[in-house]
């Protein structure tokens, strides 16, 4: 056991304590960025001028009429930028664009004494546009060969030989939906400038250092002239990893030019129409199986919808490729990836970061192929699990593969799955208008940033003369409980009560060069850095501790004595994840510190008349190592699962694909048109357990990440819906199921099972004939059928 993972006697970590801000959250006392505005005098408010075209050239922009609107102070345009007019790390996102790239793109910003004055001013700005042809769907992008970024390939074995030796070969397609983050707090920044020109930005950001970098970049000043603080966020989910930077830069630019504080907060409609979302994907696949149901070969082409700029689309695609295997061994595999460039918002990070889309491909094909193979889906999945000693397609050994089996077996036993599946069959035999399904799916998810350099963190720990402790670290709090865990880590490392430790807000002038709080790595990285700082202080106190004259001194007495002996009582901690290496060109290496495992069993009931469905019961076992904070981790598992259910069954992003004047407009702009999961979508019975005896050596106090992996446990719900819909047909029926599996989509799956009609753009299962063979990215892919999902048996031996 490493010293990093070893726990002392009676640690504070592992105790089930509430979230450190829980009382503040439920009483409304917790402060967020926008709450600071009323505490700041002379604030100006920013409002965007949004373009009404998906793609257009700005031919004229006249701000003069806006300046005549009462209360308007200034209009910010590209001419005002003293540095570089770009808000992206790839230098492909003009802050003030001359070419509109999506419907709602902000071409300039109006500053007003009130938000209403700024809004009225934005309506007065005169802008002329030259509309240009636009690409709105992945199918259109493929037809136009509109791609951006790299086109990686992940390959192992001899794929063609694998198919030649397979007894059954199937092929198909799947459209995978995107997802709106819909955090409770929309994007918000409050920028101020002091008498020396120092810029201070309060920002709802997951990546304060990168926000600092972009603000400095736009202002044309060094990073030390900009300080970014994140007090807390009202949710992030990845949507505040890259997207806040431009808004912070606009606020900072306004503050520099006017000498007054500037607040920029997006309304809900603005946030939905202007910011990126989970990437939608189109997948084409071909899979070969043995008679026993063992995967022999898999060939997949993933095309993601990147939107108008790259943002994080390349690493999202890389993680999708690395997670196509999920928990399954595939000896011969090839996965090609490409990023479509469309005239939509620039899609970005979202919980799972491409992993869910990649994993869904294999879960979908297993669910569709199991009936055609005549093998129970639960058994088919279990037969194909990784075994100890096997490697992923990118060459990383799958450590602790037995934990996937442990989670699986515990779910089957604790969820009484065998008996309940018999009960499901009995129900289906006696209820002609409703059908039930019960599915079980696994999760294997790699933890670490794919980009190795991001796997580092810093922390600053102060011990004051009275023994109280102040901790600042590079991670940000967005409700996930990171600060709670850091309090427990510091208290455990120093051996002091939890009440002696306080967390300070995350600031770039306290801990510099931080990585984003993302990739589920916040506790791993920052916890290790906090522990390192605490251990430095303890080492300096060791001579005093070992002095017999100081025997019996309390912590505060010992610290007080150390001060008078001029012992340094603060330390800067640092941590870098060891053992990582990744060749992004070859798509090979060991990019992850470890894998997190889990399993879920979900039971649903479907109404055959409408496709309406409800979730009857869910059983989950998830591997979080030795939990740092069990209540926090249970909440993360439950919340991630609910968000996954929303993505897979409810949340349906719709853009206007017509050729009319509103082409490219996002039609689902509010909760009234974009269905979010609520209490009514949660299961009637919801059992969540953390895997026991799951110590992770080499991670802080033996814990594991928990933020992203549980989202994919929701695959069990989608597969249960598939089984319930198929149960309306004869045994052995295989049905297509769109993503998201809305009641409408489930209804069409039921109709397919009954042998009825299928929706436009979909084909029924074909028993024989020629299937849809995935085109390689470099071979000139054919146009894709809109929103299609087809399955064909392409050969048997």
Phi, psi at residue 260, to the nearest 5°?
A: -125, 155
Do 311 and 274 form a contact (C-beta atoms < 8 A)? no
Q: Which residues contact 768 (CB under 8 A, 6 or more apart)?
A: 793
Residue 519 preceded by cis peptide, ω within 30: no
How far is 293 from 529, CA to CA, in rounded Å? 46
Instruction: List the catalytic residue out of 708, 723, 751, 789.
Output: 708
Do 285 and 774 form a contact (C-beta atoms < 8 A)? yes
Q: Which of 23, 115, 32, 104 is nearest to 69 (CA)?
A: 115
Active site residue 708: yes
How far is 425 from 727, CA to CA, in rounded Å? 9
Placement of tokens 């209009």 in the chain: 75
Phi, psi at residue 251, to the nearest 5°?
A: -60, -45
Tell me the three-class secondary structure of 109-155, residue by residue: EEEECCHHHHHHHHHHCEEEEEECCCCCCHHHHHHHCCEECCCCEEE
Contacts 24+ apart (CB under 8 A), 534-538: 534/461, 534/489, 534/490, 534/493, 534/494, 534/571, 534/573, 535/493, 536/571, 536/573, 537/461, 537/463, 537/494, 537/568, 537/569, 537/570, 537/571, 538/493, 538/494
Structure token digits, residue 296: 């022999």
Do 568 and 533 form a contact (C-beta atoms < 8 A)? no
Contacts 24+ apart (CB under 8 A), 729-732: 729/753, 729/754, 729/755, 731/371, 732/371, 732/372, 732/374
Residues annotated as part of the active site: 708
């Amino acid at each position: 056991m490493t010293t990093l993972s070893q726990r002392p006697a009676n640690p504070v970590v592992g105790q089930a304590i509430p979230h450190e801000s829980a009382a503040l959250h439920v009483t409304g006392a917790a402060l967020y960025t926008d709450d600071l505005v009323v505490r700041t005098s002379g604030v100006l408010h920013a409002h965007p001028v949004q373009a009404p075209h998906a793609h257009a050239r700005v031919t004229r922009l006249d701000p003069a009429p806006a300046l005549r609107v009462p209360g308007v102070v200034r209009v910010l345009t590209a001419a005002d930028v003293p540095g570089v007019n770009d808000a992206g790390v790839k230098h492909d996102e003009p802050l003030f664009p001359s070419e509109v790239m999506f419907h709602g793109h902000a071409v300039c910003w109006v500053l007003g004494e009130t938000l209403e004055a700024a809004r009225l001013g934005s309506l007065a700005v005169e802008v002329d546009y030259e509309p240009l042809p636009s690409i709105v769907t992945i199918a259109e992008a493929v037809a136009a060969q509109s791609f951006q970024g790299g086109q990686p390939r992940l390959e192992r074995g001899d794929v063609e030989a694998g198919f030649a030796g397979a007894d059954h070969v199937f092929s198909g397609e799947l459209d995978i939906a995107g997802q709106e983050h819909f955090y409770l707090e929309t994007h918000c920044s409050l920028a101020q400038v002091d008498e020396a020109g120092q810029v201070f930005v309060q920002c709802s950001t997951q990546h304060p250092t990168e926000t600092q970098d972009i603000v400095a970049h736009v202002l044309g000043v060094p990073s030390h002239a900009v300080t970014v603080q994140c007090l807390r966020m009202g949710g992030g989910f990845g949507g505040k990893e890259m997207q806040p930077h431009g808004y912070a830069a606009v606020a900072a630019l306004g503050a520099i030019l006017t000498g007054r504080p500037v607040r920029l907060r997006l309304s809900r409609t603005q946030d939905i129409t202007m910011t990126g979302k989970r990437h939608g994907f189109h997948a084409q696949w071909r899979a070969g199986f043995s008679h026993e149901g063992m995967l022999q070969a898999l060939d997949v082409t993933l095309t993601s919808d990147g939107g108008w700029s790259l943002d994080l689309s390349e690493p999202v695609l890389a993680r999708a490729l690395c997670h196509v295997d999920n928990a399954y061994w595939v000896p011969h595999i090839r996965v090609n990836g490409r990023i479509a460039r469309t005239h939509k918002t620039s899609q970005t990070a979202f919980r799972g970061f491409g992993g869910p889309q990649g994993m869904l491909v294999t879960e979908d094909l297993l669910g569709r192929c199991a009936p055609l193979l005549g093998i129970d889906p639960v058994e088919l999945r279990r037969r194909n699990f990784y075994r100890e000693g096997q490697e992923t397609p990118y060459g990383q050994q799958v450590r602790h593969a037995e934990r996937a089996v442990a989670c699986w077996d515990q779910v089957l036993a604790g969820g009484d799955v065998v008996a309940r599946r018999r009960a499901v069959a009995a129900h289906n035999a006696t209820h002609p208008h409703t059908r039930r399904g019960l599915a079980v799916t696994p999760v294997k998810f790699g933890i670490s940033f794919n980009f190795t350099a991001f796997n580092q963190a810093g922390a600053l720990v102060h011990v004051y003369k009275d023994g109280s402790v102040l901790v600042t670290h590079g991670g940000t709090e967005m409700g996930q409980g990171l600060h709670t865990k850091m309090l427990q880590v510091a208290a455990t490392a120093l051996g002091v009560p939890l009440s002696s430790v306080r967390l300070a807000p995350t600031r770039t002038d306290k801990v510099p060069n931080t990585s984003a709080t993302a990739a589920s790595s916040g506790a791993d990285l920052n916890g290790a850095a906090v522990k390192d700082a605490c251990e430095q202080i303890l080492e300096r106190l060791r001579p005093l501790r070992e002095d017999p004259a100081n025997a019996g001194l309390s912590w505060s007495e010992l610290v007080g004595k150390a001060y008078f002996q001029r012992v340094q009582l603060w330390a800067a901690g640092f941590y870098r994840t060891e053992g990582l290496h990744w060749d992004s060109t070859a798509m090979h290496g060991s990019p992850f510190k470890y894998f997190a495992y889990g399993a879920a069993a979900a039971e649903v009931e479907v109404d055959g008349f409408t496709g309406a469905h409800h979730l009857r019961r869910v059983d989950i076992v998830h591997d979080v190592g030795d939990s740092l904070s069990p209540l926090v981790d249970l909440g993360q598992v439950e919340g991630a699962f609910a968000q996954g259910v929303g993505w897979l069954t409810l949340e349906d992003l719709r853009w206007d694909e017509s050729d009319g004047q509103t082409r490219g407009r996002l039609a689902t702009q509010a909760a009234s048109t974009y269905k979010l999961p609520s209490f009514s979508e949660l299961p009637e019975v919801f059992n969540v357990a953390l895997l026991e005896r799951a110590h992770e050596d080499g991670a802080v106090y033996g814990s594991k990440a928990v933020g992203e992996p549980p989202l994919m446990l929701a695959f069990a719900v989608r597969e249960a819906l598939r089984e319930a819909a198929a149960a309306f047909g004869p045994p052995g029926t295989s049905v297509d199921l769109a993503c998201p599996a809305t009641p409408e989509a489930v209804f069409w799956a039921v109709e397919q099972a009954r042998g009825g009609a299928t929706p436009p753009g979909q084909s029924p299962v074909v028993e024989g004939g020629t299937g849809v063979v995935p085109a390689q990215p470099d071979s000139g892919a054919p146009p894709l059928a809109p929103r299609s999902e087809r399955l064909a048996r392409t050969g048997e031996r």
